[in-house]
């Protein structure tokens, strides 16, 4: 697998890092995107490199065209190829507000990063995947979108986040349909309640909800749970499942009486 290359957005911490660690363990060379300066994530990058893989860092906001262009230019220069894009970068509202009080500023910020950035980065990578497939019929690549149970479960105090993840689900369907004839699969991984810095501020709330039966499996999800699922997808373990949603939620979304 040492000639396989993946780009993970938001890959320097949280779910993204869990995915990076799983792929690194299987020999994938990684382009890690994040917003923080490279010096502040050097220890994390070195930890991935200790797996014997090549790791490059692509700093920038996926919502920005110039940042996306620079990101892919660096990958082309350093790697030459890209097999999988893992769209994981995302933000929560800076302040959780009822939808009757949500601001346009918050809406624009969340949708720009979580949805617009995801779509247009996917568009750029999809064109590159098509080029690589045209040049080599044995080329295998695709896209994995990390969304959320919030794609279908309404949270009225963070509506902009829910809307962005619902849109991301349609992005999956669109690119799966467009790329399907070339055998370039597109998947959606939909995490539930995952222990990350994004959820640290509501840990007490979810500790109680999980204990009271929110999930069938009475524990938090962890970034490595998502990483294992993504690793299986990019290995090609689900070759006839393009466009499908993989639920990683401990049974939270099972309808129960």
Confidence at 201, pLDDT banded by 50, 70, 90: confident
What pLDDT is recorded for position 84?
A: 98
User: Which residues are tagged catalytic?
Assistant: 161
Q: Are strands 84-87 and 55-59 parallel, antiparallel or unpaired?
A: unpaired
* 3-state SS class at 20: helix
Here the tokens at position 250 are 């401990």
Question: How many C-beta atoms lie closer than 10 Å to residue 180's C-beta?
Answer: 13
What pLDDT is recorded for position 197?
A: 83
Q: What does the pLDDT average to over 24-33?
A: 98
Measure the CA–CA gap between 88 and 146, rounded to whole angstroms: 5
What pLDDT is recorded for position 86?
A: 99
Residue of 81, 88, 76, 83 whose CA lies nearest to 184: 83
Is the pLDDT score of 1 beyond 80?
no
Domain 5-248: CATH superfamily, name plus number? NAD(P)-binding Rossmann-like Domain (3.40.50.720)
- As a whole number, the mean pLDDT across the chain is 97
Question: How many C-beta atoms lie closer than 10 Å to residue 188's C-beta?
Answer: 26
Over the stretch 113-161, which tens digit does the pLDDT of each residue have?
A: 999 999 999 999 999 999 999 999 999 999 999 999 999 999 999 999 9
pTM for the full model? Answer: 0.96
What residues contact 227, with CB distance under 8 A and at least 6 apart? 15, 18, 19, 20, 21, 22, 23
């Amino acid at each position: 697998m040492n000639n396989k290359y993946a780009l993970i957005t938001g890959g320097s911490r949280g779910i993204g890092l869990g995915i990076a660690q799983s792929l690194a363990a299987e020999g994938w060379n990684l382009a890690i995107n994040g917003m923080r300066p490279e010096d502040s994530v050097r220890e994390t990058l070195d930890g991935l490199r200790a797996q014997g893989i090549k790791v490059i860092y692509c700093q920038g906001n996926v919502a920005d065209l110039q940042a996306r262009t620079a990101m892919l230019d660096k990958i082309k220069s350093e790697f030459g190829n890209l097999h999988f894009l893992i769209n994981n970068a995302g933000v929560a509202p800076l302040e959780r507000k009822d939808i009757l009080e949500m601001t346009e500023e918050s809406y624009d910020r969340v949708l720009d990063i979580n949805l617009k950035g995801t779509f247009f980065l996917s568009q750029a990578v999809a064109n590159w995947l098509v080029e690589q497939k045209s040049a080599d019929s044995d080329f295998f690549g695709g896209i994995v979108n990390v969304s959320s149970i919030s794609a279908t479960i309404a949270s009225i105090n963070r509506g902009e986040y829910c809307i962005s993840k619902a849109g991301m689900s349609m992005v999956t369907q669109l690119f799966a349909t467009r790329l399907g004839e070339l055998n370039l699969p597109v998947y959606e991984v939909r995490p539930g309640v995952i222990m990350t810095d994004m959820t640290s501020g509501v840990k007490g709330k979810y500790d109680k909800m999980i204990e009271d039966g929110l999930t069938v499996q009475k524990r938090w999800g962890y970034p490595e749970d998502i990483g294992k699922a993504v690793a299986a997808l990019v290995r090609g373990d689900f070759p006839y499942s393009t466009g499908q949603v993989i639920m990683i939620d401990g049974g939270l979304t099972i309808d129960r009486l």
